[in-house]
A and B are shown apart, each in its own frame.
Chain A
Amino acid sequence: MPEVTDSWYLVLSAVLFTIGMVGLLVRRNPLVMFMCVELMLNAVNLTFVSFAKALDDVGGQVVVFFVLVVAAAEVVVGLGIIVALLRRRPGATADDIATLKG
């Protein structure tokens, strides 16, 4: 069996990031767009963990820890914005939020 190298993980996370990015560009439901942001964050986390293993340095894992914290804060605030938005305009999509007016 071939050995799983770090490049395999990096390619996987590149593909995951791309899927998340395409989803963010294509989808219109703000919640699904938010999920795609989470996909991209996870791809980057996977890259950090791969590099931490490749360099045998625990620093990469510390960065992932901080990314997790910031992602949690980001989700809380982002979902608050989405809740406030969808209360005023039920069923709004990204196309309906084209202006910065309330």
Chain B
Amino acid sequence: MELVVFVIAGVIVLSGAVGVIAFSNPVHSALALVGTLFGVAVLFVAQEAHFLAAVQVIVYAGAIVVLFLFVIMLLGVDQAENLRVDPLGGQRPGAVIAGGGIIGVALVTLVLAGEDGGGILLGTSAGLGSLTQGEGTNVSRLAEVLFTDYLFAFEITSVLLIIAVVGAVVLARRPPAGEPIIPSAATPGDEPADA
């Protein structure tokens, strides 16, 4: 059963990932990204990470991809890109070689770790609490660690989010007058009919 889940979710993840980089239209790439994120959420569920799977769907597939689509629609950058030509000679072979190197290193590490019985790769548990033993659900175990051992980091993330909000407002606000900018503040619906 787990094999079936893994294979189906894995195929969704990988085909979505290939779709992201292979579609020439950014809208299609964003939709393929939804597939990948959803497949990763399924794999989270298969590995006892129920809370993270829910957050993955809500935050990633919900908020972040919608944000991507908003930007694509808002800026009108949804024209297809010509992927046939390689503007920089040798870039694609170089990228494929680099990718092959990365995956080769990863797989060699995995094989070496397997000979060692998983010792190199796994290291030791941090002892923060068991994932499956004891009482409570996945959510309560995660919350307990988050609000005790990682409380300071958790509070700092709220500062980070506020900084991100301020940064987004500063970056996306209407630029000061005098700069050569395409007017963007008013949407067509806001303009008076006789303007």
Q: How far, in Å, is B49 (CB) from chain A's closest CB?
A: 5
**What secondary structure prevails in chain B residues at the interface with A?**
helix
> Which of the residues A2, A10, A38 comes within 8 Å of B60, measured between beta carbons?
A38
Contacts of A68 in B (CB 8 A): 52, 55-56, 59-60
List 30 A-B residue pairs with CB atoms under 8 Å apart, sorted by A's residue number: A7-B114, A16-B13, A18-B103, A21-B102, A22-B21, A22-B98, A27-B21, A28-B81, A29-B77, A31-B72, A39-B17, A42-B37, A45-B52, A49-B44, A49-B52, A50-B47, A52-B49, A53-B48, A53-B49, A57-B127, A57-B128, A58-B130, A59-B129, A68-B56, A71-B60, A72-B164, A76-B67, A84-B172, A90-B182, A95-B88
Is B131 in contact with A61, judged by CB distance below 8 angstroms? yes
Contacts of B60 in A (CB 8 A): 38, 42, 68, 71
Interface string of B85-110 (1 = CB under 8 A from A): 00110011011101110110011001
Q: Which 3 A-B pairs have the closest CB atoms?
A: A23-B21, A80-B171, A25-B95
> Which of the residues B52, B100, B125, B171 comes within 8 Å of A56, measured between beta carbons?
B125
Is A56 in contact with B126, judged by CB distance below 8 angstroms? no
Contacts of B120 in A (CB 8 A): none
Q: How far, in Å, is B50 (CB) from chain A's closest CB?
A: 10
Which residues 24-70 of B sit at the A interface, judged by CB distance below 8 A? 26, 29-30, 33, 36-37, 40, 43-44, 46-49, 51-52, 55-56, 59-60, 63-64, 67-68
Contacts of A76 in B (CB 8 A): 67, 164-165, 167-168
Which residues 3-26 of A sit at the B interface, judged by CB distance below 8 A? 3-4, 6-12, 14-23, 25-26
Is A32 in contact with B36, judged by CB distance below 8 angstroms? no
Residue positions of A touching B, CB distance < 8 A? 1-4, 6-12, 14-23, 25-29, 31-32, 34-36, 38-39, 42, 45-46, 49-59, 61-62, 64-66, 68-77, 79-84, 86-88, 90-91, 93, 95
A57 in contact with B125 given A35-B20, A46-B40 (CB within 8 Å): yes
Q: Which of B30, B145, B165 has the most CB of A within 10 A?
A: B145
Contacts of A31 in B (CB 8 A): 26, 29-30, 68, 71-72, 77
